[in-house]
Amino acid sequence: MNLAELNKVAEAMVAPGKGILAADESSGTIKKRFDAIGVESTEENRRDYRELLFRATEAMSNYISGVILYDETIRQNAKDGTPLVRLIEQTGAIPGIKVDTGAKPLPFCPGETVTEGLDGLRERLNEYYRLGARFAKWRAVIDIGPGIPSRNCIVANAQALARYAALCQEAQIVPIVEPEVLMDGDHTIGRCAEVTEATLREVFYQLGLAGVALEGIVLKPNMIVPGKKCPTQASVEQVAVETIKVLKRVVPAAVPGIAYLSGGQSDVDATAHLDAMNRIGGFPWKMTFSYGRALQAAPQKAWSGKPENVPAAQKAFLHRARMNGLASKGEWSRDLEG
């Protein structure tokens, strides 16, 4: 492991004014996205859609530091034969890859899951490195409900994240460590804070046991928000304060940066929360975004599968990327949303 090189990539992933595009939707997930805009989820349509994003030069060059890809996408070529990985590299962004195989039911723990994908991961990582990936992603899912999460669920997912992260660093790939506490349900912001803190404590404990070098990772956590069904929703400022409070308690300063997931928030809410945190400041890490839907919902709708709509889709992508780039520096304003 060359930690200096891993750190260099991790620092580039959280460079000021830039963030990560999560374009790693599984075939099932992107079908749902395409169904919503009336587009058939064929390999060609998936390729065309992602190509339009990667060819949005202004957005990619100025506001996107890296792109998380799906296994299909990292192997695809653009219409003109150029590998999609090469299109990403040409904009100065770093290609990455999703390597987990999804959350599966945890035995004897109703309503809880553990993320799988460790079998054969060493070999897959070596192949992905050859294909151009320099970072990877593994998502653990922690749900909040009556009696959950259990200690078993938190520990099982933290151990899997740590084993994945160690294998990544062995392969000279920066691991994005993503323990997501879901915002489904009716829990309060306080309950979200409690579960997120417990989860992150266990994650960093297991990373330490696994020998993972924190200077060579990027953390991708949820923000501290109440459940969608909670009767008392939080203000932007409250979310920012509570999120920073929890992370200061448990995230070591050695971690280069934190790239938040949007977790089902609206486009503007995800941007507003990131901006508010960066305006508060006073933390040792860079704070930026690693958004999927919060970056892509607008361009997907503008595109709707029609080649003539590509410029409009790229314009929509540029707007959202720019808004989040500004938020990563605490320079966003609602007035800029138009």
Catalytic site positions: 178, 220
Label residue 142 left, alpha or beta by phi (over 0 means left) and psi (-120 to 50 means alpha).
beta
Residue tagged 């290609």 (tokens):
95
Rg over alpha carbons for the chain, rounded to the nearest Å, is: 19
Specify whether the CB–CB gap between 177 and 207 falls below 8 A.
Answer: yes
> Where are the strands (E) in the chain, listed by range?
19-23, 64-69, 94-98, 103-105, 113-115, 135-142, 174-181, 218-219, 257-260, 286-291
325 secondary structure, DSSP code: H
Say whether 24 sits in a helix, a strand or coil. coil
Q: Which residue has the tokens 């309060």?
A: 188
| One-letter identity of residue 307 | P
Q: What stretch of H or E contains 159?
A: helix 151-170
Cα separation of 77 and 82, whole Å?
Answer: 5
The crossing angle, in degrees rounded to 10, of helices 310-327 and 267-280 is 30
Paired tokens of 117: 């994908």
Strands 257-260 and 286-291: parallel
